[in-house]
Amino acid sequence: MPPTKPTPCGFSPHNESTIFNNVKDFDIIVRFSKQKLHAHRIVASPFFDQVFNSKLPGPWKVAQKDTHDLGDEDDVDAVWAMFRHMYNIDYCHDPTSTETRSLEFHIAVFTTADKYDCPGLREKAVDRFGQMADTELKAGKLDRFIALISKICGSDSPQMADHALRDKVAELCLTHFNVLISSDLFARTMVQGYIFDERAAHKLLIYAIGRHVHPHLERTRGTLPDAARTFKIAAEKLVSSS
């Protein structure tokens, strides 16, 4: 086993490759957001079945240097992370940086992996996001996580095929609910009415009422089909009583 080396996500043996983005060894060029990656169809195609098969039909020829443009809508760092994963490199690894990856980075990676249907990367991104968020919440660092909830679980959040990330956020909210519900920021955000969609709010309300975690929730339980509104009313009472 190769020696482990530090990466922005911790330690991993998978952060080196002699063929990743090698200008002397490739059979396809992938462009995205003014970036260029030298890749191999035999590596990328299992992940990019729909994308590559529609653009690159027929038998593969190593000598043929095809170019495929992914456009400029995706997060650049997340796309690089996705290709590192394809080459069995730690997706957090960046030889130009030693900065710790953020929660937002893992969300962007998951979103990109959902778009291009890379289930293995989605699973890793959810795990990394969950570990980092759990650590921050246990340390009392709530604000950044609270700010991200509506972007993943809110009524206006992007609808993704894989619900694993939103389920992880809901799980974290349940695990740390007693701390979150005591946060003024969390209450004020709930007052705005878009932090949770009905599905996420329903799960949290059942949990909260079952645990009797806060008297405002007990007195405003309303009807479960209107869970989001019940949370909003409870939050308004929390804010007005603070």
What number does CATH give the domain 1-122?
3.30.710.10
At position 173, the amino acid (one-letter code) is C
Q: What value does the mean pLDDT take over residues 20-39?
A: 87
Q: Is residue 202's pLDDT more than 90?
A: no
Residue 148 pLDDT: 94
The answer to whether the predicted template modeling score (pTM) of the entire model surpasses 0.85 is: no
CB 153 within 8 A of CB 197: yes
Nearest alpha carbon to residue 40 among 11, 58, 61, 54: 61
Q: Which of 37-46, 90-99, 206-215 has the least mean pLDDT?
A: 206-215
Domain positions in the chain are 1-122, 140-242
Q: Which of 36-40, 42-46, 79-83 has the least mean pLDDT?
A: 42-46
